[in-house]
Amino acid sequence: MAAPEAHARAAPAHHEPSRAKLIVMFAAVYTLWGSTYLAIRFAIATLPPLFMAGSRHLIAGLILYPLARVQSKEKPTSANWFSAALMGALLLLGGNGGVSWSEQIVPSGVAALLVASVSFWMIIIEWLRPRGTRPMRRIIIGLVLGFAGLVFLVGPSKLGGGRVNPIGATVLVLASLSWATGSVSAKHLKLPRSPLLVTGMQSLVGGVLLILASILFGRGESVRLATVSTRSLLAVGYLVVFGSLLGLSAYNWLLHHASPARVGTYAYVNPVVAMLLGWAIAGEAITLRTLLAAAVILAGVVLVISAGEKTPTPVTESREPLEVGS
């Protein structure tokens, strides 16, 4: 199935979304996902990370999928399920699973800062894909500035505190790359028209994959109900409702109504929310290095957000259309 077919699927309604709806959706992703980093830290305190992430998404999928089927009246095809499985693997297994695992050794606020590399990867992937588009100069400057802040955060300098755990940082960057790949691919996959149905399907598949990964790579970790704290259970409930049902649904909607550059900016705003919550509620230290890195990163996002929505001409007109499932 070639990309033109996927675009034909997504194109029937050329109605531009209202500015108010765009603001609401961006606000949901900015704030709700910013708070999930601390919730993940609380949840994995007494639950295995991959099992926790899998349970969270599987529960969300079991709730959302039947509701979305009734609302949308769509019957997913095998091609739809294949596409949803690919998104579930990239977004949830590789992306969210990596973040959940890394928060065992990286503070939640710093984890959110490192995940800001999602914006960098999204635009690079969109640029390099067949018939991709070259980002505007202002966006490139913003991305370089934001990524420089990430390098400063992880680098060897002793300014304002020690460096971030390199293993945790590496896992977070790879998780961000996985998430970005799934995000850019979403516009070129044969998915149902309903964003809610897409969210339900990818949550079901991603949840199962995460639980299987927990069993295979969890080094024998098992869930003992007697040792699971109330705070961890409440955190999982928060992640199901605000992280998956609301946040992920808003994100899937934005993937089809905004450019990769704009959508990726959530990863620059989330750290501010995550660091403040980590400091205020969990007593996580905010070092001088973290503050300086955050300032540089957020300066980059201002450039990206303030740039125009349109991207320049395609990199090349001779490339073949993107093939999906081949």
8 A C-beta contact, residue 47 and residue 236: yes
Could you give the residue ranges of the DSSP H alpha helices within 186-287? Answer: 195-217, 230-238, 249-255, 260-263, 266-282
Q: How far, CA to CA in Å, does 50 sit from each of 5, 139, 170, 221, 292?
A: 35, 34, 17, 10, 32
Phi, psi of 264 (to 5 degrees): -65, -15
Calpha distance 83→73 (Å, rounded): 19
Q: Going residue by residue through the chain (326 aa), what tens digit of pLDDT does each one get?
A: 333 333 334 444 446 778 888 888 998 898 888 899 999 999 999 999 999 999 999 999 999 999 999 999 999 999 999 999 999 999 999 999 999 999 999 988 888 888 877 877 888 888 887 777 777 888 888 888 877 877 777 665 554 455 678 899 899 989 999 999 998 888 788 889 888 899 899 999 999 999 999 998 875 566 777 789 999 999 999 999 998 888 888 888 888 888 777 787 777 778 888 888 888 888 887 777 778 877 887 787 777 766 655 444 444 433 333 333 33
Burial 52-72 (b: 16+ CB within 10 A, else e): bbbbbbbbbbebbbeebbeeb
Q: Are 190 and 9 in contact (CB under 8 A)?
A: yes
Instruction: Give the C-alpha separation, 165 to 280, whole Å.
Output: 22
Q: How far is CA 1 from CA 127, 185, 296, 323, in A?
A: 21, 13, 42, 6
C-alpha closest to that of 293 among 114, 29, 34, 105: 114
CB of 56 within 8 A of CB of 244? yes
Q: Identity (one letter) of the amino acid at 290? A: T
Write down the pLDDT at residue 12.
43
- Burial tier of 128 (Cβ tally within 10 Å: 0-12, 13-18, 19+): exposed
If 0-12 CB within 10 Å is exposed, 13-18 middle and 19+ buried, where does residue 313 land? exposed
Rounded CA gap, 29 and 21, in Å?
Answer: 12
Q: How much is the pTM?
A: 0.76
User: What's the confidence (pLDDT) of residue 312?
Assistant: 41
Is residue 315 helix, strand or coil?
coil
Domain limits, the chain: 36-306
